[in-house]
Amino acid sequence: MKAKEIREMTDVELTAKVAELRREKLNLKIQSRTGQLEKTAKVRQVRRDIARCLCESAARAKAEVK
């Protein structure tokens, strides 16, 4: 997911996306532990997408305070 795509999301969509990505991260973690995970790089990608979303959310919150 690109940062541009994240910036175009509304606050509600952003919150929903973070929740979705966290569920996906949990599923990938379970697959990894059971040996079913084929693409190990997907865990890293999801983790970074979560960070991007949270970073954008924090930036918006900071902008609202000003």
Residue with tokens 């970074």: 48
Tokens of 29: 């973690």
Positive or negative CA dihedral for 24, 27, 29, 32? negative
pLDDT for res 31: 96
pLDDT classification of 9: cutoffs 50, 70, 90 = very high
pTM of this structure? 0.91
Residue 1 has pLDDT above 90, yes or no: no
pLDDT tens per residue across span 13-56: 999 999 999 999 999 999 999 999 999 999 999 999 999 999 99
Among 63, 53, 50, residue whose Cα is nearest residue 10: 53
Q: Classify each residue of 46-60 as buried b or exposed e, where b means 16 or more C-beta atoms within 10 Å of its C-beta.
A: beebbebbeebbeee
Q: How many CB atoms lie within 10 A of CB 21?
A: 21
pLDDT for res 66: 77
Q: Report all structural domains of the chain as residue ranges with CATH numbers, in order of start.
A: 3-65 (1.10.287)
